[in-house]
Amino acid sequence: MNHLFLIGFMGAGKSTVGRRVADTLGLPFLDLDEEIERAAGRSVAEIFAAEGEQAFRAAESGALASLADAEPAVVACGGGVVVDDENRRLLKALGHVIYLRVEADEALARIGDTSGRPLLAHDDAAAMASTLLAARETLYRTAADAVVDTSGTSVAEVASEVVTVARSLREAGG
Ligand code: S3P
């Protein structure tokens, strides 16, 4: 019950914000995608290309489950972590969860080159992003203890808001 998980769509700023929040809270920072890449010895895009999305999702669930034994950390999760029921249960069981919300068009603008995001590396990335975000919005909200809106907001402002929310969640316990 010790981690602070940041969830949300690709481009929401989970990793960038998460590093700052970890610094401020004096906690280690973990990026779930980087953990998967380290274990697999290849990039997320390479895993998708060689083994498919299902294999990536299995690795993602394994990486999340392994955090049960890890020291408390701020954890940036991949955008699709909430799709799996067991992952949502684990997130709740292992810590507090903050949903960083972003609009699809702003997310795409922040991402820029989508080649590292296989789910968006299509001709119509804008349509893919809004369809995927709409399909996941309820799951993000269901999984989260709190929502922080990042639209039109700087990284510093979002990080500061996340720290405030994280501290109040910790004080409230539960
Ligand atoms: C995914 C998001 C990515 C990465 C993978 C799948 C998704 O992480 O896990 O490409 O399903 O939304 P980021 O949200 O860190 O880009």
Per-residue pLDDT reduced to its tens digit, 73-95 = 999 999 999 999 999 999 999 99
Q: Is 33 in the pocket of ligand 1 (CB under 6 A)?
A: yes
Distance, C-alpha 105 to centroid of its chain: 18
Please determine, for residue 1, whether its predicted confidence score (pLDDT) is greater than 60. Answer: no
Instruction: Determine contact, residues 25/112, Cβ cutoff 8 Å.
Output: no
What would the DSSP string read from start to end of 25-87? HT--EEEHHHHHHHHHTS-HHHHHHHH-HHHHHHHHHHHHHGGGGSPP-EEEPPTTGGGSHHH
End-to-end CA distance of the chain: 9
From ligand 1's centre to the CA of 119, what distance in Å?
8
Local confidence band at 142 (pLDDT 50, 70, 90 cut-offs) = very high
Name all domains of the chain by residue range, CATH numbers in brackets: 3-164 (3.40.50.300)
Threshold 0.85, pTM exceeds: yes
Q: What are the pLDDT digits (tens) for 8-34?
A: 999 999 999 999 999 999 999 999 999
